[in-house]
Structure 1
Amino acid sequence: MNFSRTFESLRSRDFFFLWLGVLALMSAMQMQMLSRGYLVYDMESSGSLLGLVNVGASIPMLVLPLFGGVLADRINRKRIIQAGQIAAALIAFSVFVLIRTERIEWFHLLVSSIMQGAMFALMMPARQALIPQLVGKGLLSNALALNTAAMSATTLAAPSVAGLLYGYFGPSNVYLLIGILSLGSCIATLFIRHNGEIEPDSKSHNVEGKGAINGLLSDISEGLKYVRSQRLIMVLLIMALATTVLAQPFRFLMPIFVVDVYNLGPESMGLLMSVMGLGALAGSIYIAAHGNKSRGRILLAGSFVSGLSLLGVAVVPIYMWAVLFMVPLGLGDASRRTIIMTLIMEKSEERYRGRVMSIFMLNFGLMPLGVLPAGVISDLFGGQMAIGILAVLLIMVTSWVWFYQDGVRNSQ
């Protein structure tokens, strides 16, 4: 491990500004995640509605990422990123106006969640596919780890800020800050010189004589065929799906724990998310310094740690213990997410990378497989039972990969 090279990819001017954009945008998204969830539960006191509103972002993520991947492999990736960031700012300012004018209803938050999901679905494949073009494959693992570190840093700081603002100044001011941060990401992206265009492949983009829709569908089909032909990529994508469905719902159901289990307020929820961010930041920096060695085993170890941490939260209904469990939970999530994404991008050909990452993004669209049932179970049997079930399933899936998928376990 060489900590002197931890921040090496930030020496690339273009990646540095992309990284700053991620920092601003993800700060906004983390604030919105806390504020939207707490506002819905504050207005309606319903775990099912809380799950439904959070699921809203996943609806467009079921289909649109595939089209976003084709666009990322066809056109200027920088423009796609900017369009998505401008949309994020407009969504935030719209919710701000609704709250300030006292017209906000839970279904407004559902609509904003759906629109935000559409924005991410079309933007994120381009953002992720742009990174190897800026830093090269040699620094890809480092760059993705620092990207994750930026996201983790926002998880550490942004929820606390949002919780304090929500508690003392109300949700409207939180959404105002969210819009300003989204505009900040647009400004940072303006300084990126590389536009992210690639040379079109004659086979992947030969759509002469076909309509635009047929051409897009043809490219999507070729991307899916490519993934099916690459066993390691396929297994990594399946593992990403399983761990997303089982590990991520806790973040969305956290208001249930704060209000019903711990009997506390939004500031306490902000602390939980911030401590989780601290663990994720530590995990990301470790991966950035670790280099390309034994990554498969680290990936699976991180998944085990996430499952055991969630099980601890489910079993021990004490707030301070939950705070402690957030550190290994964040560490495990960050290491797992970073390594899966790095291995997938390293193994993918440049001309297919946008489409491969779009398939990876489908994981977030399929999150309702965990979030919505968990919300219903929490209404019937309590949040602890819901998260406990997901934790046990996560441990079982990770054990299966460890014992039966040597290609993942032995990846370097």
Structure 2
Amino acid sequence: MTAPASGHGGSGPFVALQEPNFRLYAAGQCVSLVGTWMQAVAQSWLVVELTGSGTVLGLVVAAQFLPVLLGGPYGGLLADRADKRRLLLGTQTALALLAGTLGLLTVTHAVRLWMVVLLAVALGTVNAVDNPTRQTFVPEIVGPRLLRPAVALNSVMTNAARAVGPAVAGLLIASVGVGVCFLANAASYAAVLAALLAMRTDRLRPGPAVTRATGQLAAGLRYVRGTAGLWAPLAMMALIGTLAYEFQVVLPLLAREGGHGGARTYGFMTSVMGAGAVAGGLAVAARGRVGVAPLVVAAGGFAAALTAAAAIRWLPLELAALACVGASGTAFLATGNTTLQLVADPSYRGRVMALWSVTFLGSTPVGGPLVGLVAEHLGPRAALALGAAACLTATLLGLAALPRVPPHHRHLDPRPPGLSRTGSPPTE
């Protein structure tokens, strides 16, 4: 006979939209993330316009993510302790004000490089708290039953924005100027703030309260060190995040190489990567399993795609290779993120996801200048090849770590518990 309906029908990652609060959250994120990608593209292009230097661009990107490296673990601890919805209202408001300030400085032609650096540092400081809070707020919205599709859908939304945001930014930069991108991003935060305020707080599912005590940061680090299903993905991301995800540095220089073009080509390259990223995120959400073993496979695919992008010089094929880079890079990100969310104990989840942010974003202060230096002196294709080598090394590291990972952490079913492959309740 058929089991009673659970109220969570649907299929794939979109089953998470059955939760009303998550629908609000997703709608706000869809708008805001487009603005975030517009700002990322515009900031990189602004630095290139001001300096023309890949090394300086790498240093500016490093300055933005240095606070994540230094303060990320404390941001995760704060996320474990605080009311996440209220904390996000504060961080999102601060991010809107920073984007608006940079926009006004740019459109009035008052912007200088030191101002961009100062605002980038402030942005990174807020993101050190905002990133782990956003990631650990999703389980509170949907609960454990819908956590897997919700995390996957969140990744898909991020990469859909990555496809749209850069394309819009490229058009705006070429038509009305780079400053408008920052102002548009500032306005986009209104959607997130409205969604957070409209949520029904009685439907949220807060995790275990983590009261203030000494040694909590060290306890989180010990927990990760003793759990191979956590430290192996984090070690792999430390390598890949440092050298392979520095596209803010590489792509502006690649767009200018060989007479490819300017802002339009840059926006198009980033959009093609974003389109591939959406496909990669959907593939992981709909069909792929997560866990350390699939993460090793994803790292190998990322290495192959970066190798192809570094070798191909004809623009149409290069764009196809960049789409593969986007797909494989997002497959690695989505697989790693979901693996950590599912393996981590809820009371440690904020600190674990903060370490994920540190290895992904916080590694940029090291990788950004290094990749920028390689791109400026050896060319952007050499920088892509360096990223491919990092992915290959991470793949080998993951293979070496697999025997120490418990079997139930090597492969994790990404479907919601109790649902069949079609998203319907199982039959008896």
| Fold shared by both chains (TM-score > 0.5) | yes
> 8 Å contact 2:156–2:282 — kept in the other structure?
yes
- Quote the residue 1:357 is aligned against: 353
1:14-57 CA deviation, whole Å, 9 max, x = no partner?
Answer: 12222223222221211011111111111211111111111111
Deviation digits for residues 326-379 of structure 1 (CA, Å, limit 9, x no counterpart)? 221111111111111111111111111111111111111112332211111222
Alignment match of 2:81 (pick from 62, 66, 74): 74
Give yes or no for the alignment of 1:331 onto 2:322: no
Matches within 5 A, 1:5-404: 5-194=12-201, 197-201=206-210, 205=211, 207=213, 215=214, 218-290=215-287, 293=289, 295-363=291-359, 364-404=361-401
Partner Cα distance (2:394, 2:347) in 1 = 32
Tell me how far 1:246 sits from its aligned partner.
2.5
From the superposition, tell whether residues 171 and 299 of structure 1 become closer, same or farther in structure 2 (CA, over 3 Å): same
Structure 1 position 295, deviation (Å)? 4.6
Structure 1 CA distance for aligned equivalents of residues 207 and 35 of structure 2: 30
How big is the shift at 1:197?
4.3
How far the C-alpha of 1:302 sits from its partner, in A, is 2.3
Q: Which residue is 1:210 aligned to?
A: none
CA distance in 1, matches of 2:123, 2:38: 13
| SS of match in other structure, 1:155 | helix
RMSD: 2.0
Compared CA separation, residues 191 and 165, structure 1 to 2 (3 A): same
Of residues 70-79 and 366-375 in structure 1, the stretch that sits farther from structure 2 once superposed is 366-375
Q: Percent identity, please.
A: 25
Q: Classify the secondary structure of the residue corresponding to 2:234.
A: helix
CA distance in 1 between partners of 2:301 and 2:267 (Å): 22
Report the alpha carbon displacement of residue 3 of structure 1 after superposing the two structures with TM.
8.1
Q: Deviations over 1:172-191 (max 9, x none)?
A: 21111111112222112212
SS of alignment partner, residue 146 of structure 2:
helix
Which residue is equivalent to 1:411? 411
Q: Between Structure 1 and Structure 2, which shows a larger proportion of helix residues?
A: 1
SS for the counterpart of 2:111 is: coil
Q: Could you tell me how far apart the structure 1 residues matched to 2:205 and 2:233 are?
A: 25
Q: Which amino acid aligns with 1:193?
A: R
Alpha-carbon distance in structure 1 between the residues aligned to 2:208 and 2:385? 48
Deviations 1:182-207 (A, max 9, x none): 22221122122236644435xxx363
In structure 1, distance between residues paired with 2:103 and 2:152 = 33
1:403 Cα deviation from its structure 2 partner = 4.9
- Give, in whole Å, the separation in 2 of the partners of 1:169 and 1:261: 26
Contact kept in structure 2, 1:137 and 1:346, CA below 8 Å: no
Which secondary structure does the structure 2 equivalent of 1:405 belong to?
Answer: helix
Higher mean C-alpha deviation, range 395-404 or range 158-167: 395-404
Would the aligned equivalents of 1:25 and 1:85 in 2 still touch at CA under 8 Å? no
Deviations 1:105-128 (A, max 9, x none): 122111121111111111111111
Maintained 8 Å contact 2:132/2:350: yes
The verdict on how the C-alpha distance between 1:3 and 1:290 changes in structure 2, with shifts beyond 3 A counting, is farther
Distance 2:73 2:104 in 1: 33
Q: Which whole-Å CA distance do the structure 1 matches of 2:188 and 2:218 have between them?
A: 37
The answer for unaligned runs of 5 or more in structure 2 is: 1-8, 413-428
TM-score, normalised to structure 2, is 0.88
The alpha-carbon distance between structure 1 residues 261 and 302, as it changes in their structure 2 partners (threshold 3 A), is farther
Contact 2:229-2:410 at 8 Å conserved across structures: no
Aligned residues: 398
Alpha-carbon shift at residue 77 of structure 1 (Å): 0.4
Q: Secondary structure at the match of 1:137?
A: coil
One-letter code aligned to 2:133 = A
Report Cα offsets for 1:43-83 as digits up to 9, x if no partner.
21111111111111111011222121111111200111111
Q: Say whether the 8 Å CA contact 2:292–2:398 is kept in structure 1.
A: no
Aligned twin of 2:423? none
Q: 1:235 to 1:165 in 2, by over 3 A?
A: same
Equivalent residues of 2:100, 2:183 under 8 A apart: yes
Query: Equivalents in 2 of 1:27, 1:53: separation in Å?
Result: 22
Q: CA deviation at 1:299?
A: 2.4
One-letter amino acid of the counterpart of residue 411, structure 1:
H
The one-letter code matched in structure 2 to 1:405 is L
